[in-house]
Chain A
């Protein structure tokens, strides 16, 4: 009797499992389809696309659309390709991610290990920053950037992203450090380490996993941001996302879909890259052995 029930349990298990896999694979294909379309069409001559072969593999393989999208396509009025805007985005995103992550870590450190009166209220206010709709701050922020002399520059964009990122990065690091053993901090204090020495030598080296989370989060958000880029940048400091839009919207001549696809992939590449590279460092167990258990 019990054997029979066990048997059916295994059988139903197998059936359900197969079903789950089938459904999952279908979903995966469904999600991967756009990427497939973009990839195949970015390496086709334009005639093949306009000829109605959106889904088919390229007859004549060409990387010309990629070259054009990168270096010579018409962006707005200039035939520069996406290249200069790519560098604009890099110049914006690297300092913004670095600074907001470091500040978030410092905030988390202070809020958990150097508690002061009103620290929970301050943290609550910082959390509030995560939920402010961006549209509300556009005009005040534009005025602020103007006053600071940062309007229309990548520095200005970095600044805006740092300000908006701190709420999230602080939240991440605070929650991570909240369970970091306070005895380690105390031991370091007795050993004679100061505020920043404890931060650099003890806390940061153990912050790998949360730093990766923070970097991935910040990088994707800032790289993909369109609203701030469109609002606060001028023609020379536009980020990739805005340039991509201009590329697609450029109304001169025929729509070069293959170039658009290539450009879109170029714009998405850095975030993919960050996921793949940083994801590998998503190591757990860095804390193992510091305290019991």
Chain B
């Protein structure tokens, strides 16, 4: 049993089921991120944990106590909303202490708790202002202060950074991470930003269409995506997915892919478990950063395959240059160091780190290797 258990939780609105049998177990102190495209049910699941939506079937437990039917205020959770949801008629200080007041905490203690939180978040000088007189980042802090002051078992965040500009978003992201490391409270965090998910979490639940597609550490999700959806959703630019055929070369399985001129290249796999697929079509997944020029190829890798192909487009982006080519009839993006001499239309030797390559079954779209 974990600290927070979501046990076969299902949610229906009328006849429409929007969450299907969600099973997630969160340990104490974990930072779980729910990530997925818009409408996949992230907020619904979070609201179910908070008690703002009821559970159609299944169970949610916090510290082994079933939460079905328990009022939000009695779950010992705190929530930070996407819109911050600060009470407009109250000052920052009153916003922070409102929850304590409602729980009957005496005034001196409320003030003390408020001061501590304000100090932690560096909003002491804002305590007497109304939310209307704050910047987006400051509101964000106040919203977190309101959650922190309750000292809850679980923090729930619903896209707390999506209303901030890019720079502030990165700053606040770091701050939330620091805060988690400092306080060690269990957090469930909703976002549709896969970078936020990868940087913040200790574990990620990737959701799509009301299903949890994969639950795992950021490393697992990134390196061993359970299916094509997870592979292409997580990572930017997305993982390249190329049709290929499994052939045997020197007794080991390899992928046969078509180049832009119709020629074929052979990319040997690192895993033997693809041998039974000999002769069959698969989908080969290659991350952009694992395709480089031969000089920059990962020295620690035991399996670098080279192929010569025509460069279609180059996109310099400061530190990196994104280079695209055709493989298996699809556009494939690779990420090169910016000083690599690449010219569109010319042939170039690409080095593919096949140790990092994954393979998917084209019918089920599930990962078959590694």
Task: List A residues at the B interface (Cβ < 8 Å).
Answer: 181, 183-184, 186-193, 197, 201-202, 205-206, 285-292
Contacts and interface: CB of A to CB of B under 8 A. Distances in A.
Interface in B209-227: none
Interface residues of B, number: 32
Interface in B62-93: 71-73, 77-79, 81-89
Contacts of B133: 289
B163 interface: yes
A286 B81 contact: no
B83 A183 contact: yes
Given A192-B73, A289-B132, A289-B133, A187 B85 contact: yes
A190 B79 contact: yes
B83 A181 contact: yes
B130 interface: yes
Contacts of A289: 86, 88, 130-134, 139
Contacts of A187: 79, 81, 85, 87, 146
Given A289-B88, A290-B83, A291-B83, 7 more contacts: A187-B87, A189-B52, A191-B98, A192-B103, A291-B84, A292-B84, A292-B163
B130 A193 contact: no
Contacts of A285: 132
Contact of A192 (B102, B136, B146): B102
B325 interface: no
Contacts of A287: 88
A97 to B, nearest CB: 23
B50 interface: yes
A37 B274 CA distance: 101
A193 B98 CA distance: 9
A114 B324 CA distance: 54
A286 B163 contact: no
Contacts of A183: 81-83, 85
A288 B102 contact: no
A191 B81 CA distance: 13
B99 interface: yes
A186 B52 CA distance: 7
A292 B73 contact: no
Contacts of A288: 88, 132
Interface string B237-279: 0000000000000000000000000000000000000000000
Nearest to B89: A205
